[in-house]
Amino acid sequence: MTPPGVDHSTDSYLPRHGNGGYRVLHYDLDLDCRVAANRLSGKATITARTVQELTRFSLDLGQLRVEDVRVDGRRATWTHRAGKLRIKPERAIGYGAIFKVEIRYAGKPVPLSGRWGDLGWDELTDGVLVASQPNGSPSWFPCNDRLEKATFLVRLTAPTPYAVIVTGDLVTRRRGAGTTTWVYERNEPTAPYLMSVQIGRYEVIELAAAQKAAIPPRLRTVFRHDFGRHGEIMATFERLFGPYPFREYTVVVADDDLDDPIEAQGMAVFGRNHLDGRRTHERLAAHELAHQWFGNSLTVADWRHIWLNEGFATYAEWLWSAASGGASAGSHATRWHIWLSSQPQDIAVADPGVDRMFDPLVYKRGAVALHALRVRLGDDAFFAMLRSWVGENRHGLVTTGGFRQHASRFAEGPLDALFTDWLDRPALPPLAPAGR
């Protein structure tokens, strides 16, 4: 029998997203998008392995209409309501078995609404933007919407005037009668929320080695200036963190204003308002690039560990500031420590709670905590620790406990009190002086 809990994940913050009983190995998505009408039709073929015998199982899927479901080629019975596609195969699937699910679906994709606003597939003025963190992926494909990783193959057909940018390596592009089919593969293990689709009237240009950009043609000049040092940011981060973890990096500039940039695996998306000809938002470019190491290659095993994404990417902004002739990381840490001292001290960085996952305190205090660790360890040990943390956990799942244990290998004395003060307790500890 299938035990209870198959419709839920083990994530402490988002248990209703994700499902138990199996692990997805690969997603094969064959999609057709009619941009003007915002209509999407698709076939998802999902390859998975059971971790228990299954007489039924579930996937996450938003408001799209399911037309057919097959398990290992046989028709299955299913229900689809409240974001869950519940499937009963013709016969039970044994423990440890690899099986395939084929789902045909169609409709008008809409983002998922929640406490963080609209997430997932969203219409632009003339195109599509997908921003799924943390749980918007079911808005455009059926998935096990948890943090476990899988590989992807995405074929997406759209009207020819539009460029289609998908997180992954472009395999081929085929012109048809008024449409073009773009094929991308994502061979590095990837969490569903980090898969993204961007569709627009973009010009694709080279940005730097192994980096490209998709931009509205009229913004080419200002983009070239504002992102002119992106190759230097990449080189700085590779020196500090280790080799870039993917084959490519794509910057997309949507021809709409966006509140905040968005990162996906091997991609970052900015709004046209993030270009002003003065590099005002260069720190955001550094932040999103840093997420390729901290968040995308190293992905948190549970959302309560989100400071491992956001604190690290924020500290990377400060490291780029120092490397590019701006304020030192120590100066940034001091400034933000003063700001933190003026805020309510009511959050534990290591477990901020689901309502405060994206609170600025998680970002800034997480970064200041890293600087406190750097002061304790010294530069040589701190950066050796960071590089080995990245290398040893490449394309894996990480936790705060794992980071604490890892950092302790590079310290001459115990770090327990430092981590407890900075990560576990809301009260703000003093910051040891350092001019780095």
Q: Is residue 310 marked as binding?
A: yes
Q: Which residue has the tokens 């789902």?
A: 103
Alpha carbons within 13 angstroms on the beta-carbon side of residue 168 total: 29
Active-site choice (188, 282, 288, 317)? 288
Q: Is residue 332 marked as binding? A: no
The b/e string for 395-427 (b: 16+ C-beta within 10 A; e otherwise) is eebbebebbbebbeebbeeebeebbeebbeeee
Q: How far is CA 419 from CA 190, 416, 424, 426, in A?
A: 29, 5, 7, 12
- Judge whether 203 counts as a catalytic residue: no
> Three-class SS of residue 198?
strand
| Extended strands (E) in 298-401 | 299-300, 397-398
Entry field: residues in the chain: 436
Is 395 annotated to bind a ligand? Reply is no
Q: Is 202 a catalytic residue?
A: no
Answer whether 277's CB lies under 8 Å from 426's CB: no
Question: CB under 8 Å to 34, separation ≥6 — which residues?
Answer: 40, 159
Cβ neighbours of residue 231 under 8 Å, at least 6 residues apart? Answer: 207, 208, 209, 211
Contact (Cβ atoms closer than 8 angstroms) between residue 262 and residue 272: no
Q: Active-site residues: which are they?
A: 288, 363
Task: Indicate the annotated binding residues.
Answer: 287, 291, 310
Task: Indicate the annotated binding residues for Zn(2+).
Answer: 287, 291, 310
